Structure 1
Amino acid sequence: MARIEGKLAKYLQDEFKRLSPNGWECHSEVAILSPDLEKFLGYEPRVDVLLQRTNSSQKFWMEFEISRADPVANHTKFATTHLFQAQTQSDTFVSMMSADIDRGKRNLGVTTIYLMRHIGMNAFQTALLPHHNSKQIKELNNISIENLKQSSLDITQEIQRVFSISETVISENNQKIHFAGDILDVFMNLRKWNEEIVIPEKRSVWGKRTITYFVFDPLNRSFAPSKFCAYVAIPNTTALLELSLGNFCRSEMSINLYAKLDGTDNRFDGRRARLHLTQNLAMTQHEISEVPEIFRLFENWLFQHSDSINVHPKGIEILMPPEPFTKKIR
């Protein structure tokens, strides 16, 4: 049996069952391997939650990472299982990590997701109860089931987040456009924009765009347009298998792809992008005047990119990440 951490994981299992959408059913502690493979390999892995359509046409194998010392162990469990019992196209692995998992371990999880995709798996990582900080998660994990039922946790939103980040928004050539699943995905896009915009050919493709909302990375003290940061471009399975690992395209947005989609496909939408970042990934939105220490950094950054960015006349809004991706600005 899989180890249940505190009371919170058990509560989540029960609530996912109770709140399964119409046409879906939910089971907990489901075997991943066939009985023959369990006997042959000598271990019996189980999944926290299997959420599947009642006709079994779509299955989400979900792990709740609340406060584990090794939260990437479940990624490895599913990846190695894939070697013996290949995941089907109807299967999707989803790891949900709380704020009580430190930044390095969360990021290790996301990068392991990239490797899982490279071997042909549908895999995602996203936030678990993202509007609760580490201290609050610890408190929730140490209270009774009865008290958890009184805590007003919005478990329906947790289920919807799984659907939101796993659903393909747009299919474009050999790529599937999705909403970013994790803050690292957002920051990878932020870094990619800043890397590409200094290349003359990329800067020409970007042109000069009027922007209101910017994502801020406190650790690297950098910014990028929020819409660019909110979408990822996942190579489809065929494209992934044709790539060598050294040339493996992770899932960042690119300036070329952004320019192709922006203004030509209404599914690629700035408002939806911003709401995803604030609602599903718990980024907080601030008027630039509210954060003067960040305003100074933004002015310096904007000066470097004045040929590429016009600030919207109504002002600047900054989107900041939640714990554990924050750092005091000095």
Structure 2
Amino acid sequence: MEEANILDMNSVKSRRQAALAWRRYVRFRYIYLLTLPGVFYYLVFKVAPMWGLLVSFQNYSPALGMWHSEWVGFDNFIDLFTYDHFYIMLRNTLVINLFSLVFFFPLPIIISLMLNELKHDWFKRLNQSILYLPHFMSWVVVASLTFFMLSQDVGLVNKFIIQSGGKAQSFLTNPDYFWGLLTAQNIWKDVGWGTIIFLAAMAGIDPQLYEAAEMDGASRWRKIWHITLPAIRTTIVILLILRLGHIADVGFEQVLLMKSPLVNNVADVFDTYTFTQGIQRGQISVGVTVGMFKGVIGLFLVVLSNTIVKRMGQEGIY
């Protein structure tokens, strides 16, 4: 008898939860409708292609197709890890991303704090528009501008150095400058675009907090440190975790446009290796193997960093 009552109570509870969920869906139906394009995008372009990861365990031949190609197990991974330049590619990939993490990631936060302190809305919008513009330029344009500025023959910087009595520098062909050059390009192109999320987070801060701080005599720096930064801390942590998930990804187009035989030792990364092996040489299985290896690294770092963040008492991404 008691078991029957428990089952009836669970059934009633389930129906009640289903009714609440349905009412919530009806109430927010337009919001759910707005998410459909994003859900569709991820299903079609992110989830559906995941079956192709099986190719990394094959000697894939387009003529035979995936189901008739030879299965080779982990041979492709063994070939990747024993490749002569594997550790060079790993070093270059990690160093380029670490440069970006150390020098690029904090800048949108700093610029967002500066823009948030501007009192005149028109001046704030003008600066935002100027900062956003480089993001919409292709890497071809950015590489061309870099060549125009830093080329040893026609570069404006070297012309200025020569006119000042100095000697022209080989900025574009010197391996010592390559990683810093990529980081500088990323900063110039995307630092403004990266402020959007932080400014949106700052827009949600209650103005009464600033008013109360002013009444207590807090300076501008105190308000930033004790109100603004704590309010956007969760956003910073989430974006940092997501950034770590892409630690094995380097802008392929950027590196391809900037590399030359003189800097190959510091420019070869997994993305360029995927292009040369998977596309130019037709070794599709090799390209998919590299992609799967990068995905595993990203997944591991996301899970690890999220776990550490939660243990520190912060909110993670899941």
TM-score range, shorter chain: under 0.3
Give me the TM-score of the superposition, normalised by structure 1.
Answer: 0.24
Name the structure, 1 or 2, with higher relative contact order (CA <8 Å, separation 6+).
2
Give me the TM-score of the superposition, normalised by structure 2.
Answer: 0.24
More strand by share: 1
More helix by share: 2
